[in-house]
Structure 1
Amino acid sequence: MLKNPERNEIRSILQDAKTIAVVGLSDNPARTSHSVSKAMQDAGYKIIPVNPMIDEALGEKSLKSLRDIPDHVDIVNVFRRSEFLKDLAEDYLETSAPVFWTQLDVVDEEVFNRLSSKGRTVIMDRCIKVEHSITQP
């Protein structure tokens, strides 16, 4: 069974992070991925959209995949269904991002264990906006 980091560790992750790559970020303001990412952008994080179906979101150019990110990313936040996590995990391991975070109801224990065994921090089935609001001073 997967075990997410404790709240104090999540607080530290969010305090130290500057850049969040958002896989599946929509350019539609009615979508949860957009509103959550906008809230994080408004809180001071640089957002990098990763979605091959759009050109930009939140004023940032969208990239086709995690492999296309030229700069360091602190958190990869995933807004895709659980069945896509295995392939995303492979792309993620090509990055230097220390944290792989999936939104509510997005869970794959095999991916959790694989990434954790590679020394990466994995947070699954948690909303980054909610965690930010309850862990920040």
Structure 2
Amino acid sequence: MNHDRYDDATIKDWLQRVRTIAVVGASPNPSRPSHGVARYLALHGYRVLCVNPGQAGRDIAGLPTYARLADIPEPIDMVDVFRAPEYLGAVVEEALALSPRPKLIWGQLGVRDDAAARRAEAQGVAVIMNRCPAIEMPRLQVTGPHP
């Protein structure tokens, strides 16, 4: 897939299709974007699970937090990555090791690694990078997951 530009219909479809989202790199600090986006997604009807090794077992934005994706005890539809681009490859490898695998890996603003995206897509996992769902949802008039 060309990751320089995404079709609005594709983004909207994904945002309406996914239900369970793991936010990797979620921060307990309310002033951090990862905290706000996790909360925003939860308030819009998604099941949000945070991933932050230093906060495992605690809540972030009132949401359960795990050390690793593999620690989440339920299937994940989307992995939303709030880590520096050089860590996206490791997150992709961790996601690909899950069973079942997530349907989508979403790299937040500034998070792009084309080689990692190719590895995920080769395993049937879609990738969107350098976008924020909390920006895309109001722009595309997505109110949350569709039933």
CA-based RMSD: 1.4
Per-residue displacement from partner, 1:72-97 (whole Å, max 9, x unpaired)? Answer: 11110000001111111110102221
Alignment of 1:26-37 (within 5 A): 26-37=27-38
Aligned counterpart for 1:73 among listed residues 63, 73, 76: 76
Of the candidates 101, 110, 114, which is equivalent to residue 105 of structure 1?
110
Q: Which residue of 2 aligns with 1:93?
A: 96
- 1:84-134 CA-partner distances (Å, limit 9, x unpaired): 111111101022210000100111110011111111110000011111111
Question: Any residues of structure 2 matched to 1:10-25 within 5 Å, and which?
Answer: 10-25=11-26
**Residues 77 and 104, structure 2, Cα contact 8 Å, conserved in 1:** yes
Question: Between Structure 1 and Structure 2, how many residues are aligned?
Answer: 137
Task: Name the CA distance, whole Å, in 1 between partners of 2:93 and 2:109.
Answer: 21
Q: Would the aligned equivalents of 1:52 and 1:65 in 2 still touch at CA under 8 Å? A: yes
Q: Deviations over 1:22-80 (max 9, x none)?
A: 00001110001011111111111111000011122122221010111111111100000
Q: Which secondary structure does the structure 2 equivalent of 1:47 belong to?
A: strand
CA distance in 2, matches of 1:118, 1:65: 20
- Separation in 2, partners of 1:37, 1:83: 22
Identity, in percent, stands at 36
What displacement does 1:3 show?
4.6
The one-letter amino acid paired with 2:24 is: V
Letter in 1 for 2:103: P
Indicate the larger mover: 18-27 or 36-45. 36-45
Instruction: Give ranges in structure 1 of 5+ residues lacking alignment.
Output: none
The letter for the 2-side match of 1:116 is E
In the other structure, the counterpart of 1:51 is 52
Q: TM-score, normalised by structure 2?
A: 0.87
TM-score of the pair, normalised by structure 1: 0.93
Cα separation, 2, equivalents of 1:133 and 1:73: 23
